[in-house]
Chain A
Amino acid sequence: MSRDNDVPAFEGHKPQARRLAEKALDASRAGDDTTADALFAEADRLDPEAVADVLGEDVATGQRRTSRNPAPDRDASSPEQAGIGRTAAPGQGFRTWSARGTAGAPRTPPRHPTALAIALEVNGQTHALTVDVRTTLLDALRDHLGLSGTKKGCALGQCGACTVLMDGKRVNACLTLAVMADSHPITTIEGLAEDGALHPVQQAFVEHDAFQCGYCTSGQIMSAVGLLTEGRGDSDAEIREQMSGNLCRCGAYANIVDAIRAAKEAV
């Protein structure tokens, strides 16, 4: 067998798909949508990635996609890279991986401080404390300052239970580090009532039974106060949309909307 007679390795359907897609593109440029769609559909059947490549290189709009990575050849990919899934036997996915564990690669040790002295300004009072820089504002409020009115529901900004006002705006206390909140005035649920009288939003929440278990309530109320401060809430639809960052698993939303509407009228 001579080298000259070696058959080139089959490159998959990519080259053919590319040719079809390029012709389709030409048809498209010429305004022949029917031909273009038919050719693209044929090319899609062969190798949609090749079609995407051709489209990505399309300069018709005047902007070339320079960031595009060379598309890898699907057919040449190794089985390891193709991943694992439902077709694999259950549990097989770990066999090649889990022994590595979950702790990750060796890390560079930190060069900058891992603990810092900060001053948190909460409800008009300044608290000096030293925190591990990993401490979120939420944990600082609850575990360091004992202000447990601000609730931890997910610690990932996905539920709104930790909503406080920072610099007058509603934020998720779980998504900021305490060291980053240094010197930014913070209002929590504990700072809302004045002289023992409930804030109008708090009062409305009681009157409209806008909660059941009470755990999301602080966040709902702080979010509602933020909403009113922003001048929003002119319609029930807007209140609903604007309160959608605060989950209530007891399902008190209808009453929450009623309470906010009433509080807006009262303020």
Chain B
Amino acid sequence: MNAIIGQPTPRVDGPAKVTGQARYAAEFRPHGLAYAALVTAAIPRGKIAAIDTTEAEQAPGVLAIIHHENCERLPYNELEKRPQVDAQSGDQLRVFQGPEVLFVGQPLAVVIAESQPQAEGAARLVRITYELDEPSTLFQLDDGKPPSEGNAKAGRVPESERGNADAAFATAPVQVEVWCSHAREQHNAMEPHATIAEWDGDRLTLWDKSQWVDNVRLEIAAIFGMEQEKIRVISPFVGGAFGSALRTWPHVTIAALCARRVGRAVRVELTRRQCFTAIGFRPMTRMRVALGADADGRLFSTVHEAWGQTSMYEEYAETTLEPARTTYSCPNVRTKYRLIELNTNSPCPMRAPGQSTGTLGVEMAMNELAAQMGIDPLELRRRNYADRDESADKPWTSKALWQCYEVGAQRFGWTTRPPAGSLRDGRWQVGWGMATAIYHADRSACTAGVTLYADGRLVVRTATSDMGPGTYTAMAQVAADTLALPIERIDVEIGDTEMPKAPVHGGSITMASVGSAVRAACEALRDKLVPLRGNDKDAPEAVLQRHGLEMLQAEAESKPGNESKDYASAAFGAVFAEVRVDPALGILRVSRLVGAYDVGRVINPLVARSQCIGGMMGGIGMALHESAEWDPALGRVMNANLAEYLVPVCADTPALDVSFVGEPDLVFNPLGAKGLAEVALCGVAPAIADAVWHATGRRFRDMPIRVEDILGED
């Protein structure tokens, strides 16, 4: 190893991004590109009674209009095994295959035209009349259904219990019961979803915004009844996704349908409003957490119940209840999970899916327990430290949460935390809060290929993505490190199904999975170089030149071994927040966030810190801003834009401090990295909520906390 791993190396794709040269899905320009615009449903449930395209067809530039009456029938073959990114029960939305309307925003027709304005203008001329059915639009806990078998098999069980939590709660000397929630959140990555499709005979190329090109190929092949080999999916840059580009959404199919209909390449780019309905969202979740503790604050009962939103056509479920089972040591734990079916688009994973939700509930309850007992919340965590994963009954591959607490507290100045309600700065009430962050660390099989050229360049190829965490840079560092090459000589090529197979770019698994594969491929190449090299110390390219070789290639797969059976793995963190509240004006601002994280080996502290501060901003959004406002009378999100769906702006940025603690987790994978995108979001919102209590003396349990909450009733 050279010293490049662990160095704050600037992004290798930085120059391309700051000069506007990095090319995202909608920006490819295949010859003869035509443009599409979606026509979407205006009712939450019913049928299309009639669709009138007469006027739209006569609009200038219109090439074709596809809808359920004239669309080719698509086979939608069932996959042998459903990818983990899809809902595990129910049927995906089938585009233009029938008149049924299941949610507002459902694509019902598409107009293809010579230009984008022509397509969008004509789309407004398509007239659809509906037969209305009674929709399900109210989020009522009584309507909650237990997840079905498919989800249970994937770990989203209706019930789980170790010990007897209710009995233990009933006898607990100290009891806390908390009802809490967060709103429906939308990913709202800055790049709208887009797909360009082009057919060449029976071969299809898709330029798509995707976190998993291999899966797009798999699913489109099944939908169209094609061989996978005839499909190529290209996605070199992803303009943020946070989970919204894990799945193969209907508009990808629509792009392929359009291109086949008009015999030209066609682009489908969602409008911002459509990004609220044509892709997924983080489901609004309501929770009940009951904690029972002994007189010293040691937990002996945890009950966590959650109700989440799902759609009428798919059952999307999350790992919401995992934190209750794994974060703290507790002999009696019961969980319950219910799903409420609504006439809406299907939810999907959004950064730290389930876990950030569950952490919100558990951590808020822990903070209330601490306050009730008069124990410092940090001390309460220490007293309930889980030395092993008590849910799986396995040891951790590594866990440095204790150091997270210590380093975070020290950097924040927590040891001097004054009593609640005592900090003031003029009219501002100031408060401090904290929370634990936890996110299970996973790893999947991945293949990478490396090619060393005689000119000294090394190219790394694998079908992963980079939606922002720095895959390009980190993989270049891993290769440079393994082969002792300068990083400037390394090109990383990703986001193309022509490349070696890679797992989904999500769930914080990329570094552990793809990084390990790149490491393995480089080691395989090094092994090939050894016999060529002999005893000399020539640079690798000199070795190639000496043997008259233009290039030398190696490919290797890396996958988890028995360690995943014998151990549990997770990334951990401790988050500390300071808020300022102007109680008269209802203003609440976060002034300081400190996070200390155990994420195993940090490949690139510069880029890793960026991801952590990004997670903190996302947590501020969850705590103070984000809420897709659902009108149950009309069955739709009303603030479907970026002016009224609020995300933090630059002026909302507090002082941010990030530390990394712990050691490389070499049991978990050869690189020792545990992943950090998700854990960086977890814990932020409950830490902020606790700080608001500390400032004001009042508990706010439903996120986001807004002006009206702070102002309170008269």
Contacts and interface: CB of A to CB of B under 8 A. Distances in A.
A and B touch in their complex, CB below 8 angstroms: yes
Interface of A: 84-86, 88-95, 98-99, 101-103, 114, 132, 134-135, 139, 142-143, 146-156, 158-159, 161, 188-190, 192-193, 198, 202-203, 205-207, 209, 211-218, 221, 239-241, 243-244, 246-257
B24 interface: yes
Contacts of A102: 42, 124
Interface string B1-34: 0000000001101111111111110110100000
Given A86-B632, A213-B239, A218 B650 contact: no
B642 A247 contact: yes
A85 B609 CA distance: 46
B272 A153 contact: yes
B271 A155 contact: yes
Given A90-B136, A98-B130, A249-B240, A206 B15 contact: yes
A126 B272 CA distance: 31
Given A209-B10, A213-B239, A152 B26 contact: yes
Nearest to B616: A251
- Per CB-CB distance, the 8 closest pairs between chain A and chain B, nearest first, are A149-B20, A251-B617, A215-B239, A212-B468, A214-B17, A213-B468, A251-B614, A189-B20
Interface in B412-469: 467-469
Contacts of B656: 254
Given A90-B632, A212-B610, A212-B611, A151 B239 contact: yes
Nearest to A219: B190
8 contacts: A189-B19, A211-B17, A213-B189, A213-B241, A247-B649, A248-B650, A250-B190, A251-B613
A155 B640 CA distance: 13
Interface in B124-148: 124-130, 132-138
Contacts of A94: 42-43, 130, 132, 634
B16, B117, B272 interface centre (most CB from chain A within 10 Å): B117
A94 B137 CA distance: 13
A80 B606 CA distance: 59
B191 to A, nearest CB: 4
Given A98-B42, A257-B653, A213 B190 contact: yes
Contacts of B694: none
Given A189-B20, A193-B19, A143 B116 contact: yes
Given A90-B635, A149-B20, 5 more contacts: A139-B117, A154-B272, A209-B607, A239-B650, A254-B653
B670 interface: no
Contacts of A247: 190, 642, 647, 649
A101 B642 CA distance: 26
Chain A contact residues: helix, strand, loop or mixed:
loop
Interface string B611-627: 10111111000000000
B388 to A, nearest CB: 33
B468 A250 contact: yes
A74 B61 CA distance: 49
Nearest to A189: B20
Interface in B91-139: 115-118, 121, 124-130, 132-138
A152 B192 contact: yes
Contacts of B129: 99, 101
Contacts of A159: 190, 272, 642
- Which of A88, A91, A146 has the most chain B CB atoms inside 10 A of its CB? A91
B188 interface: yes
A86 B272 contact: no
B360 to A, nearest CB: 18
Contact of A91 (B26, B242, B635): B635
A248 B138 CA distance: 33
A112 to B, nearest CB: 15
Contact of A250 (B240, B641, B643): B240
A206 to B, nearest CB: 4
B618 A251 contact: yes
A159 B653 CA distance: 16
Contact of A212 (B35, B130, B470, B651): B470
A251 B76 CA distance: 38
Contacts of B137: 90-91
B633 A90 contact: yes
Given A90-B134, A212-B470, A221-B18, A249 B613 contact: no
Given A90-B137, A91-B135, A134-B121, A215 B240 contact: yes
B428 to A, nearest CB: 15
B653 A249 contact: no
Contact of B633 (A91, A152, A203): A91
Interface residues of B, number: 89
A138 B23 CA distance: 16
Contacts of B613: 251-252, 254-255
A156 B641 contact: yes
A198 B15 contact: yes
A197 to B, nearest CB: 11
A247 B189 CA distance: 10
B190 A161 contact: yes
B26 to A, nearest CB: 7
Interface in B176-197: 187-192
A132 B632 contact: no
Contacts of B648: 251, 253
Interface string B250-282: 000000000000000000010110000000000
A190 B11 CA distance: 19
B588 interface: no
B468 to A, nearest CB: 3
Contacts of A257: 650, 653
Nearest to B633: A93
A250 B648 CA distance: 10
B650 A240 contact: yes
Contacts of A149: 19-21
Contacts of B132: 91, 94-95, 98
A209 B22 CA distance: 16
A151 B606 CA distance: 25
Nearest to B473: A209
Interface in B615-673: 615-618, 632-635, 641-643, 647-653, 656
A40 to B, nearest CB: 15
Contact of B610 (A190, A202, A255): A255
A159 B189 CA distance: 11
Contacts of B408: none
A256 B17 CA distance: 14
Contacts of A142: 26-27
Contact of B634 (A93, A151, A155): A93
A91 B649 CA distance: 35
A90 B651 CA distance: 39
Given A94-B132, A103-B127, A252 B115 contact: no
Given A93-B633, A99-B129, A249-B190, A209 B641 contact: no
A253 B189 contact: no
A104 B11 CA distance: 50
B704 interface: no
Nearest to B133: A91
A193 B14 CA distance: 14
B44 interface: yes
Contact of A190 (B19, B60, B615, B650): B19
Contacts of B468: 211-214, 250
B237 interface: yes
Nearest to A216: B190
Nearest to B614: A251
